[in-house]
Amino acid sequence: MEKFNCSYDRVKFDEACVNVISDNGNFNKWLYSLSMDCLLCPYKRIAQISNNVSLKFSTIETLKWRILNNNGSEEYVSSKITSNIVCELTPHLGQYGLYELAVQNNNCNFKTIKNPTYPYTELFVTLGVIIFILCGISAGRSLWHMITKCVIGVKDESNNEELKKRRVKAIDTFRGTSTLFMIFVNDGSGTYAVLEHTIWDGMLLGDIVFPCFIWIMGVCIPIALSAQLKRGVSKLQISYSILKRSFLLFLIGVSLNTLGTDAQVENIRIFGVLQRFGVTYLVVSLVYLCFPPQQSKILRNPSPTWIMRKMQDILSLLPHWFVMLILVIVHCALTFCLPVPGCPTGYLGPGGRHEDGKYFNCTGGATGYIDKTVLTLNHIYQYPTIKSVYGSSPFDPEGILGCLTAIFQVFLGVHAGTILMLYKDWKDRVMRWLLWAVFYACLGCAFHFTDTIPVNKNLWSLSFVFVTTSFSLAFLSGCYLLIDVTEVWRGGPFRIPGMNALLLYVGHSMCYEIFPFHWRIGAMDSRALCLFESIWVVILWAIIAYIMHRKRTYITL
């Protein structure tokens, strides 16, 4: 080992080192590598096969190697070309692992010199400690309340009606969980790739946060607007409030896009996270206001049928379903039928080196084309996740076309909120939420696994909407059962941050590069240290939310 550069001290987490051994006749042999994250991509030239060469590789992605007998003049070689292949292998690399690749006499041998370490030890230990602390706090609170009830006495049963009308704490908890986890993901997820965003098709934990956040906004729309209508607020006043809030959300989002830049007007990114909130809130709220739910007419029917009673959540929103169906049809028509110059119609790929670079400038198909045409190239996101893997051109994951399916997802949240308002018994609510969750999950999986419409956050595909909405419904059902029904959990420490979600999101977006919200110690080459820094940020913003709650200060638009 002394004659090689590979040693345990020279690699860090998510890295492995490979020693290459070869005979003297391998000057025309080259190592090419392909990341399995890069679908239908060419192999990339890594290094010439020569004796005593040490190479470092990332262990985050699965790799495929080819040893090719050529002069190494081509940086990329198509995976479809099978000539000049000396050998082909799929190495299983782990962090801190030391390996040996021997290429001798046109044969390849790969072996492990030092076994890798398990990458998720720190994560599971930290998660266990957090769960233990939260369970301890919850148990202590429950014990305290039991003692208090025994001393003061059991509440009168007449309070049951008040319990039905009280604020649903599960909604705040859901929103707070989404907000805090979004902060965690934006801060780097403790360097765990599995907690971040997927490259293109598919879904990781980090991809669930944004759709959950936007969906729960939809749940609150019928609750908030119905309350204003009952108080006698005119539709004109409510419309003005909706327009003002949407405009402010969009404006704040554009302002956040200029952080860390010189705010050059001709290069400002127009769309983003808060902008999508503003657009979807505007459309869904105005549709709800224009077509007030008709549940009262259904229930006043002299002889409502069993189907009418059981399906009043659907029947009361029939005009809304019709409008949303039109939006979905328009989205699908544009996605699969809009001609895009130089690209196949209905292309849903990442462009770049996908399919050997055949459609290099076709990133996102119609989705990317509409953004580049309407917004122009300088006003869309310049550094998408796919750029590091596929080498793709700029692409905006929060662009124009995706707003249509995002509007539909917010409406699905409105439907869940309508169920909450219509059905007073918790069993009816949870049963319907879970039934719809199963239905959406089946639809989304059917679209994805038949490759009709793959799950894709960057495109905000229809299958992505269904799968994430299914998760949201299931998660809300769980929170509702634990917090509002059985009351075994009070929602901490997520409920209070959920009451000031806008402040936390904007605040962390503005303070992500300043102390104490962000810091570094040395090279930050310790996984535990990176994880602690990401959790520290979440804890800090949670504390701020609790302080503001203590002062009864809530930032809304």
Residue spans per domain, the chain: 9-117, 123-151, 168-551
431-460 pLDDT per residue, tens = 999 999 999 999 999 999 999 999 999 999
Nearest to 459 by CA among 401, 539, 501: 401
State residue 250's pLDDT score.
95
Average pLDDT over residues 329-338: 95
Q: Please give, one letter per residue, the 3-state secondary structure of 378-438.
A: HHCCCCCCCHHHHCCCCCCCCCCCHHHHHHHHHHHHHHHHHHHHHCCCHHHHHHHHHHHHH
| Alpha carbon distance 294, 387 (integer Å) | 48
Tell me the three state secondary structure of residue 19: strand
Structure confidence at residue 7 (pLDDT):
60
The tens digit of pLDDT for each residue in 119-149 reads: 898 889 988 988 888 888 777 777 777 787 7
pTM: 0.89
Phi, psi of 174 (to 5 degrees): -60, -50
Give the separation between CA 96 and CA 98, rounded to whole angstroms.
7
How do strand 29-35 and strand 85-89 relate by DSSP bridges?
unpaired
User: What residue type is 152 in one-letter code?
Assistant: I
The pLDDT of residue 26 is above 80:
no
Q: Taking all residues of the chain, what is their mean pLDDT, rounded to a whole number?
A: 87
Q: Identity (one letter) of the amino acid at 257?
A: N
Predicted local confidence at residue 9, as pLDDT: 63
The answer to whether residues 185 and 511 touch, using CB atoms and an 8 Å cutoff, is: no
The highest-level CATH class for domain 9-117 is mainly beta
Angstrom distance (rounded) from CA 229 to CA 289: 9
State residue 152's pLDDT score: 63
Structure tokens at 23: 């005979």
76-103 pLDDT tens trace: 999 888 888 888 999 999 988 899 888 8
Confidence band of 159 (pLDDT split at 50, 70, 90): very low
Q: pLDDT tens-digit profile of 532-553?
A: 999 999 999 999 999 999 989 8
User: What residue has token string 């599995």?
Assistant: 194
Ranges of H-type helices in 423-526: 426-449, 462-479, 495-498, 501-510
Over residues 470-479, the mean pLDDT reads: 95
The H or E element containing residue 361 is none
Tell me how far the alpha carbon of residue 76 is from its chain's centroid: 32
Average pLDDT of the segment spanning 357-370:
92
Look at residue 301 in the predicted model and tell me its pLDDT.
57
Give Cα 227 distance to the centre of its chain. Answer: 31
Q: Using an 8 Å Cβ cutoff, are 33 and 43 in contact? A: yes
Contact criterion met (CB below 8 Å) for 349 and 362: yes
